[in-house]
Amino acid sequence: MAFFRNFKKSFEELKSIRCLTVTALLIGVSVALKFVMIMPSETLKISFAFVGLAAIGMLYGPVVAGLAGVVTDVIGFLVKPTGAFSPIFTLVEVAGAVIYGIFLYGLNPVKLDFSSRTAFFGGLKTNGFQVFRIFMAKFCVNLFCNVFLNTIAMVIMGYFAPEVFWVKITTRIVKNLTMLPIEVFILLLVLYPVMVAYRAAFREKRSA
């Protein structure tokens, strides 16, 4: 099956010095972006930390992205600790990274055309499948990781009582659905230039 072949192919990427180098660079970007956020309101914050792991997933697949998720979470904690370290939250980060790899590996990202509204939406329609892959990647991360896994982890760690679990779930669903179109747009905006830069940097080897 193609699904399992992608995991095998992603694992084989680890043999490449190029993969290790680019992944290390994007891990650094991901860690740095953990500390960059915009807060349009007291209850909403726009984080860019997911961009680095999404880019790794696009370039090198779920296995590499999952390993990068471990490193990103640990380094992020060491740089700026927030409470006690817990491998449970690391697993949540890894799950999100793997999801990006599953949906985005081999993606041909969309170049957004801002010349007119017609051109913008026409481009999205023409590249509908690629847009759908990006949307599903972020939707699954938000629903599975941000809403459910992260809430379960917080109950286990004692951040709040199990009795309020479904209240927290409901609040997080609303928050993550609100953020979803913004985060999808960020990925649409960023993944194309990442791929262009990657292909430009390694164009000689690609043509060989």
Looking at residue 206, its pLDDT comes to 44
Q: Which of 62-71, 155-164, 186-195 has the least mean pLDDT?
A: 155-164
pLDDT given at position 162: 86
pLDDT grade, residue 204 (50/70/90)? very low
146, 172 contact by CB (below 8 A): yes
Mean pLDDT for 35-52 is: 81
Whole-number pLDDT of residue 38: 82
Q: Looking at 45-164, list the stretches that DSSP marks H as alpha helix, in order from N- to C-terminal side.
A: 50-79, 87-104, 117-126, 128-140, 150-156
Tokens linked to 42: 């007291």
Q: Residue range 46-51: average pLDDT? A: 88
More confident residue, 143 or 47: 143
Enter the tokens of residue 48.
Answer: 């860019």
Instruction: Decide if pLDDT at 44 tops 80.
Output: no
Token pair for 152? 């379960």
Closest listed residue to residue 92, CA positions, set 41, 155, 17, 35: 155
Residue 1 is predicted with a pLDDT of 66
Give yes or no for residue 192 having a pLDDT over 90: yes
Residue type, 205: K
Between 80 and 189, whose confidence is greater? 189
Rg of the chain taking only CA atoms, in angstroms: 18
Question: Yes or no: is domain 2-207 CATH 3.90.180.10?
Answer: no
